[in-house]
Amino acid sequence: MRRLLGQALQHPGRILGLAMLVLLLFIFTTAYTAPGGVSITSLCQSVDTTLTLMLAIDSPTKMLQNHSPFILGFGWLVCLMGWLFLPLLIGVLVDISLSRVESYSKLRLMFRELGLAANLDGDKLKKFTDEMMERAARIVAGRESG
């Protein structure tokens, strides 16, 4: 189990892709088995059912009581995925945010060190660092070339 979780954390893109595939398959399967067949209404209801199961708002047994055991089992899988998938997704987003903050801090420190190497101090050093950070932001945004 620890190895599986380690793999999931090392390759979150693969896990998210697999989860999206399972969710789409569940959506289309439940829409296909709807009394009116596949339509915009049945797709919307299937998406609503999927999100409800993922957030564990209602039990799959209760929500899918008129469906086959296959769909019921599939519903429980979606429910379990929600319990595991949403924390993983939130963890990945937090990790990305923290790495961006860390990169920003490192870049600011490098510009500060560059200013110190050029014998800048006080307000001149702060102004130089701020100007270089603004310039870096413009380059990243594509509004200025390097």
Q: Do 89 and 16 form a contact (C-beta atoms < 8 A)?
A: yes
Average pLDDT over residues 49-54: 88
Q: Which residues contact 116 (CB under 8 A, 6 or more apart)?
A: 125
Domain ranges in the chain are 2-141
pTM for the model: 0.56
> In the prediction, which pLDDT does 47 show?
92
Judged by average pLDDT, the poorest of 47-56, 89-98, 133-142 is 89-98
- pLDDT digits 0-9 by tens, 108-125: 899 989 889 999 888 998
Q: Which residue has the higher pLDDT, 121 or 85?
A: 121
- pLDDT digits 0-9 by tens, 15-38: 778 888 989 999 999 999 888 888
